Amino acid sequence: MSFLFSIKQSIKKNACLDSLVRILLTPKFNHQYKITDMNALQRSKGFVEKKYIWIKKYKNSHLGERCFVVATGPSLTMTDLELIKDEYSFGMNSTLLCFDKTTWRPSFYMIQDENVYEKLKVEINEANDNNSFPVVISDVIANEIDCEARFKSFPYHFLDHKKYHKNGFGEFKFSDDCYSIVYDGYSITFSILQFACYMGFKEIYLLGSDCNYNQKKSHFIDYGFHDPKAAIAGDKIITAHSEFKKYADSIGVKVVNCTRGGMLEVYPRMSLEEVLEV
């Protein structure tokens, strides 16, 4: 896995080579997407897939409530996490590296990138050795890496995001049925947002969603992973947020950005203290 990871990273660093590889692999991607679409359609029509059936119990489980989605931007502080320790929150990726510095624990933890998982798998296992919160991984991770049996997986669709795109990114979709499928938005944040909507939350507050990767510190806790495409990651993710806002508005979900600074201006902003009235 580490050797393959190194090759992928090297290819991504070379824009021309990366584009060429994506073009050459288009037939393979199309075949993968066709299978993913077919399986998602079957589940949407009632086919029971045991490994994903756990998701159904979360449908509207928090109807009308609020939650906090904790991203890993450099603006995030330990004080922020302490303030929301009694709130329902979603953690992702390296958020668990702060557990020795805060009493906050996510109510729900998600990770979908196999390379990020490889970097953090020891910490993930240690952080949740007592099953204090659900650890939810993409089927990409579950299918490629030997993971703890207690971890739950979800069906993940890359859309056309693996293909070559002249403008740097492809289409955006958001699922209202996470049992059937969860769509990629170039960040684990969007898989979490889809789950939050599926669970019935009507107010979603973002923390640490800086969307600014063109700086020395791109995460609130460094863990040795750097995206070779970081220079354009912010634009892609902000565009995805713009599309998600349209979806959220259409289903009556309010999204507010409580990030301290950053570049994400798609949603209305409030300070965390305002939201919590402290």
pLDDT digits (tens, 9 = 90+) for 73-94: 999 999 999 999 999 999 999 9
Decide if 108 contacts 134 (C-beta within 8 A).
yes
* pLDDT for position 219: 78
pLDDT at 245 (0 to 100):
98
pLDDT higher than threshold 60 for residue 5:
no
Overall pTM > 0.85: yes
Binned at pLDDT 50, 70 and 90, residue 123 comes out as very high
* CA atoms of 212 and 244, how far apart (whole Å): 18
Handedness of CA 60, 62, 63, 69 (dihedral sign): negative
* CATH number, residue 94: 3.90.1480
Q: Is the pLDDT of residue 229 over 70?
A: no
Interatomic CA distance for residues 6 and 157, integer angstroms: 24
Q: Are 263 and 238 in contact (CB under 8 A)?
A: yes
The secondary structure of residue 55, as a DSSP letter, is G
Q: Is the pLDDT of residue 72 over 60?
A: yes
Q: How many domains does the chain have?
A: 1
**C-alpha closest to that of 149 among 173, 165, 161, 131:** 131
The mean predicted confidence, pLDDT, of the chain is 91
Closest by CA to 140, choosing from 36, 60, 23, 249, is 36
Reference 110, options 180, 27, 222, 193; nearest CA is 193
Domain hosting residue 237, numbered range:
2-276
Q: Which token pair is 176? A: 């209202």
Q: For 27-58, how does the pLDDT look when each residue is reduced to its tens digit (9 = 90+)?
A: 998 999 999 999 999 999 999 999 999 999 99
Residue whose token pair is 């288009």: 26
The region of weakest confidence among 27-41, 104-118, 215-229, 257-271 is 215-229
Q: Comparing C-alpha atoms, which of 255, 227, 251, 253 is closest to residue 241?
A: 255
The phi, psi pair for 111, rounded to 5°, reads: -150, 140
Q: Tens of pLDDT along 127-182?
A: 877 778 999 999 999 999 999 899 999 999 999 998 888 877 899 999 999 999 99
- Cα–Cα distances (Å) from 259 to 74, 135, 181, 221, in that order, read 10, 24, 28, 16
Residue 15 has pLDDT above 90, yes or no: no
Question: Which segment of 36-50, 143-157, 209-223, 262-276 scores lowest on mean pLDDT?
Answer: 209-223
Judged against a pLDDT cut of 60, whether residue 2 lies above it is answered with no
pLDDT for 154:
98
